[in-house]
Structure 1
Amino acid sequence: MTAPTINGTRYPQPIEDLLPAARGLDLPEGQRFPSRNRLMREFRIGAPKAGELLALLKAEPTAPPADSTAPDPADAPTVPEPAPPVEPDPTPAPEITTAEPDAEATPVSRPDTPTPPLTPAPVRSAVVWPVVLLALPAFVAIWSGWVGLGGLTGFGVVHPLPGIWDSFSINSAITLPIGVETYGAYALYVWLSGRVPQRARRFAKWSAIASLLVGALGQVAYHLLEAAGVTAAPWWITTAVACLPVAVLGMGAALAHLVRTHD
């Protein structure tokens, strides 16, 4: 006889659910209780649980079979019934192994089993050395274009330390590529880094775009004037180029102040 199970599975069952099934087991004639080994085989439980189930069966009161010819129990003297001796079962207890669930059985989730954390795959940073190859020819073209436009708009060799170092001279046209393009690259970095306050990021975004557009217009203006053989730029181009160092100074100071403040 196969004992009933819970939900049709073979997982361990409570003693309370096994007790009614244990009462209904077919026993040989003259045997009042099933042996511990049979309980273990029938219900696929361990020795401690089978012993506990057997003890509960023996603790339940049992009524003697009714006999019409027997004398009235009230007339007979009450004699305590001796407890039946517990005979050791010579059959060795089978080794209990955890039965694997059937393929058709519904898997039982175990919420107490910790789920191992997922290890994220290492992320490799993108290489930046190709930027150097891109920047070298751009640097040569931008530098020559700004210096040439500076020469057409009045920038040239000056002596910044008169009376102190008269022989020291510098071409002021180099201030255009250094100021405009350097600020554009720095503002672009601040904008894309995302590590500055929102006001500083917004200012860096629009000033970087404006700086790159001015740089592109400066290159266009120089090449058009050079191709046309112009030796002196028109007054409106000269005015715009002359204001660039002052504009770069103001935007650089403002951006440096914003990146150190909070919203």
Structure 2
Amino acid sequence: MTAPTINGTRYPQPIDALLPAARDLDLPEGQTFPSRNRLMREFRIGAPKADDLLARLKAEAAEPVTTAAEPAATDPDPVPAVPESEPPAAEPVEITPAEPPAEVTPVGHPDTPTSRAPSRPAAVWPVVLLALPAFVAVWSGWVGLGGLTGFGIVHPLPGIWDSFSINSAITLPIGVETYGAYALYVWLSGRVPGPARRFAKWSALGSLAVGALGQVAYHLLEAAGVTVAPWWITTAVSVLPVAVLGMGAALAHLVRSHD
């Protein structure tokens, strides 16, 4: 059995040839357009071609129907047109150029934040000039106090490097003052957890106070001609390296903690 033909041609045929036959399809009651499956089945075409054909049908239905304009009814008694008189020529109006608008000065609202130019950071190089004389005075004071409290020349590598010696008094300025500067930085940086900041604050103030008391003790003993410090001063100075080690380890732990 051969497939039906439209216009004497076997399927499939172009959309323009299928469009009239698609319009004449009998549709169930209440259905405006045939379904894509029915177009595919009736005209033996694929899904893309059926979609195109269905779109063409819907486009035709959406186009407005235009009717020929009816001729205007002729008036049996036309009224002769009265020629209109030309209007008088208008007098030229002189146009004065508008003045440029006055410059408006923006008024800032008291509650509205105004943008400010980024300020340059303060210079820190003067700190170096301040630190140099302080370093000389603090270093000599701690080393002198260490000599009065039993700190002195030691050989840290006996049997390995017998000629190597070091004055243990330098551990005082290095430990106390370095920790004080580091704790002060941690406290004022504002980039550490709360417990670390509080610990850094009080330990920095304590370290600076101990450093000041050490300088006072050395100069008083030196002015009095004392060659050996009293026992209570020796006790306090001798525990400073251990105290600095403990506070430094605790601060390093708190800085890395997020609790």
Where on the TM-score scale, by shorter chain, does this alignment land: which range?
0.5 to 0.7
Q: Indicate the residue corresponding to 1:213 in structure 2.
A: 209
Q: CA deviation at 1:171?
A: 0.5
Structure 2 unaligned runs (5+)?
A: 1-76, 105-112
Q: Distance in 2 between matches of 1:85 and 1:246?
A: 120
Q: Indicate the residue corresponding to 2:238 in structure 1.
A: 242
Going from structure 1 to structure 2, the CA distance change for 1:91 and 1:220 (only over 3 Å counts) comes to same
Q: CA deviation at 1:96?
A: 9.7
Is 1:175 equivalent to 2:171 in the alignment? Answer: yes
Of 239, 246, 251, the match for 1:255: 251
Of 188, 193, 197, the match for 1:201: 197
Q: Indicate the residue corresponding to 2:130 in structure 1.
A: 134
Q: CA deviation at 1:247?
A: 0.5
What do you get for the CA RMSD once the two structures are aligned?
3.5
TM-score of the two chains, using structure 2 as the length reference: 0.58
Structure 1 unaligned runs (5+)?
A: 1-78, 108-116
Of 151, 156, 159, the match for 1:163: 159
Q: Residue 124 of structure 2 aligns to which amino acid in structure 1? A: V
Q: CA deviation at 1:197?
A: 1.1
Q: CA deviation at 1:119?
A: 5.0
Deviations 1:196-244, CA, capped at 9 Å, x for gaps: 1111111110000000000000000011111111111111100000100
Q: Distance in 2 between matches of 1:245 and 1:120?
A: 48
Q: Distance in 2 between matches of 1:165 and 1:206?
A: 41
Q: Residue 134 of structure 2 aligns to which amino acid in structure 1? A: A
Give the % identical residues: 81
Q: Distance in 2 between matches of 1:169 and 1:256?
A: 30
Going from structure 1 to structure 2, the CA distance change for 1:245 and 1:85 (only over 3 Å counts) comes to farther
Q: Residue 202 of structure 1 aligns to which amino acid in structure 2? A: R
Between Structure 1 and Structure 2, whose CA radius of gyration is higher?
2
Q: Distance in 2 between matches of 1:87 and 1:186?
A: 101
Q: Indicate the residue corresponding to 1:223 in structure 2.
A: 219
Secondary structure of the structure 1 residue equivalent to 2:162: coil
Going from structure 1 to structure 2, the CA distance change for 1:165 and 1:100 (only over 3 Å counts) comes to same
Going from structure 1 to structure 2, the CA distance change for 1:96 and 1:231 (only over 3 Å counts) comes to same
Q: Distance in 1 between matches of 2:93 and 2:122?
A: 63
Q: Distance in 2 between matches of 1:189 and 1:87?
A: 97
Going from structure 1 to structure 2, the CA distance change for 1:158 and 1:123 (only over 3 Å counts) comes to same
Q: Distance in 1 between matches of 2:86 and 2:169?
A: 110
Q: How many residues align?
A: 173
Q: Residue 141 of structure 1 aligns to which amino acid in structure 2? A: A
